[in-house]
């Protein structure tokens, strides 16, 4: 069934001239056609995969099948951070694969931010990508402790001041004049992007490279060599599943990934006099060290785009258009933004929207390809997908096409990883929503006492198994 999302800021500011105009149409029902590679999902994972496959072999016949429209899902609705973040930190990677592998994975993500920037220079337009780094503020002593521990983790893997550094109070306020800051962790490895414009830029490049994109094509079944759709069967030697948060809606994938809603608000454009008080002069993305994740950016047209987790997980991994907004979460986001930046005064909130991201059971994203079956997949980014999708697409293209691998992409730690399945209901619903409540209680306790909430903080990790 076709879903209609609430209008996001990104939808309302997508220039008509930048929309990827899909050429051609799907075949009539019952007609079968064939390709070398069929990609299920018209978001960034699928589009990057198509792009890099065609860079390696322009003669490949590639089709991208999308149930809705290009960038309908998380790729077009997210917070617009093209960052080096991964849902699993270096320590977790090292515990499974060793320190060298953890360092390579982190370096690969640093390089991925550069790679996306190069692509936008060649195929994008002004205002899509601006690299100003990111600042994660500490506003309580426990937040400061956690962020310093994160910095220490990067230091243990050999990353110095040019990659990650601590800002004192004055340095932090000169960049981000949020209330109550006591310091911050800063990294240059992040850019603020307009995610829907980026997604359409990749789609346009894919079309120009010779691929087909078929919108409004619902995939009903995936099996080796065949994709069943509402417009007939598509045959392909290789089939890539790139469905991220919508994966649980596919047959046999109900417990593979957890769809988590992340919601956002945006303000009207703020005058330069207000921004002079707030900071973010280089359009740095920003967050703070609380348990209940928040994230924001100063957009190219001088708005706040601000979001956070905290929306409920819906029983049975349900995904519905009415879940894309939530009056209670909108109120919490607006209150949090105004608490952080009272300088914005009575600026109006003009947009509220959201969508699903995907969480694996072990909070570890992955790239996989089985040459014997021809089935491939990537995802599980837990909200860190704007850049990670690019690395996934390059890696999948290398795995599928074979040949040279000068960057050793196929040896990265996430290649071939399989996460265990999520628990059946009602255990899944109870555990995830209990973790959500624990995060709020932990933040409240830490703000009240100024000490780390070991009870609630520990409960979050035990419930989610991170």
Give pLDDT tens digits for 146-203.
999 999 999 999 999 999 999 999 999 999 999 999 999 999 999 999 999 999 999 9
What is the model's pLDDT at position 4? Answer: 38
Cα separation, 146 vs 460, in Å, equals 15
Q: Is residue 199 a part of any domain in this protein?
A: no
Confidence of residue 302 (pLDDT cuts 50, 70, 90): very high
Q: Which domain holds residue 432?
A: 425-466
Length of the chain: 466
Confidence of residue 33 (pLDDT cuts 50, 70, 90): confident
Burial class (CB in 10 A: 0-12, 13-18, 19+), 127: middle
Q: Is the pLDDT of residue 305 over 60?
A: yes
Q: Is the pLDDT of residue 260 over 70?
A: yes
Confidence of residue 7 (pLDDT cuts 50, 70, 90): confident
Give pLDDT tens digits for 419-433.
999 999 999 999 999
370-390 average pLDDT score: 97
Q: Is residue 441 a part of any domain in this protein?
A: yes
Q: Is the pLDDT of residue 113 over 90?
A: yes
Share the mean pLDDT of the chain.
94
The bridge status of strand 134-138 relative to strand 33-40 is unpaired
Q: Is residue 446 a part of any domain in this protein?
A: yes
Q: Is residue 314 a part of any domain in this protein?
A: no
DSSP string, 78-132: S--EEES--SS-HHHHHHHH-HHHHHHHHHHHHHHHHHHHHHHHHH--TTSEE--
Q: Is the pLDDT of residue 409 over 90?
A: yes
Segment (H or E) for 315: none
DSSP state of 322: G
- Count up the domains in the chain and report the number: 1
Q: Is residue 40 a part of any domain in this protein?
A: no
393-405 average pLDDT score: 96
Q: Is residue 465 a part of any domain in this protein?
A: yes
Q: Is residue 356 a part of any domain in this protein?
A: no
Give pLDDT tens digits for 214-259.
999 999 999 999 999 998 899 999 999 999 999 999 989 999 999 9
What is the model's pLDDT at position 3? Answer: 37
Proportion of the chain above pLDDT 90, given as a percent: 89
CB atoms within 10 A of CB 260: 21
Cα separation, 206 vs 119, in Å, equals 12
Q: Is residue 81 a part of any domain in this protein?
A: no
What is the model's pLDDT at position 27? Answer: 57
Q: Is the pLDDT of residue 2 over 80?
A: no
Give pLDDT tens digits for 262-273.
999 999 999 999
């Amino acid at each position: 069934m076709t879903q209609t999302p609430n209008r996001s800021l990104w939808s309302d500011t997508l220039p008509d001239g930048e929309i990827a105009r899909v050429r051609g149409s799907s075949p009539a029902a019952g007609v079968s056609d064939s390709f070398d590679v069929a990609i299920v999902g018209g978001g960034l994972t699928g589009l990057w995969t198509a792009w890099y496959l065609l860079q390696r072999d322009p003669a490949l016949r590639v089709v991208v099948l999308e149930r809705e429209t290009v960038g309908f899902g998380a790729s077009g609705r997210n917070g617009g951070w093209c960052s080096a973040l991964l849902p699993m930190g270096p320590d977790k990677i090292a515990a499974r694969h060793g320190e060298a592998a953890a360092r390579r994975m982190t370096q690969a993500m640093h390089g991925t931010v550069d790679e996306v920037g190069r692509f936008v220079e060649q195929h994008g337009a002004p205002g899509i990508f601006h690299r100003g780094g990111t600042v994660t503020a500490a506003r309580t002593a426990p937040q400061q402790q956690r962020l310093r521990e994160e910095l220490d983790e990067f230091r243990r893997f050999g990353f110095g001041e040019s990659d990650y550094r601590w800002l004192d109070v004055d340095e932090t306020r000169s960049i981000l004049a949020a209330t109550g800051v006591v310091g911050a962790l800063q990294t240059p490895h992040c850019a603020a992007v307009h995610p829907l414009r980026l997604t359409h830029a990749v789609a346009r490049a894919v079309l120009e490279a010779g691929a087909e994109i078929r919108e409004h094509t619902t995939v009903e079944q995936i099996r080796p060599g065949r994709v069943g759709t509402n417009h007939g069967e598509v045959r392909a030697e290789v089939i890539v599943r790139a469905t991220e948060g919508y994966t649980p809606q596919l047959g046999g994938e109900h417990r593979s990934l957890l769809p988590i809603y992340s919601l956002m608000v945006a303000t009207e454009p703020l005058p330069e006099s207000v921004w002079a008080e707030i900071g973010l002069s280089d359009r740095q993305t920003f967050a703070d060290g609380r348990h209940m994740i928040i994230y924001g950016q100063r957009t190219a047209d001088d708005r706040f785009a601000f979001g956070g987790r905290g929306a409920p997980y819906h029983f049975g991994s349900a995904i519905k258009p009415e879940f894309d907004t939530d009056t209670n979460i909108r109120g919490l986001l607006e209150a949090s933004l105004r608490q952080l930046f009272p300088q914005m005064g009575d600026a109006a909130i003009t947009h509220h929207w959201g969508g699903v991201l995907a969480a694996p059971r072990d909070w570890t994203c992955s790239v996989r390809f089985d040459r014997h079956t021809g089935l491939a997949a990537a995802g599980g980014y837990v909200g860190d997908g704007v850049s990670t999708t690019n690395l996934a697409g390059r890696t999948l293209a290398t795995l599928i096409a074979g040949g040279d691998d000068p960057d050793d992409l196929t040896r990265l730690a996430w290649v071939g990883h399989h996460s265990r399945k999520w628990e059946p209901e009602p255990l899944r619903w109870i555990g995830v929503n209990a973790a959500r409540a624990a995060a709020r209680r932990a933040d409240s306790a830490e703000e009240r006492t100024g000490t780390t909430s070991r009870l609630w903080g520990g409960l979050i990790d035990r419930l989610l198994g991170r």
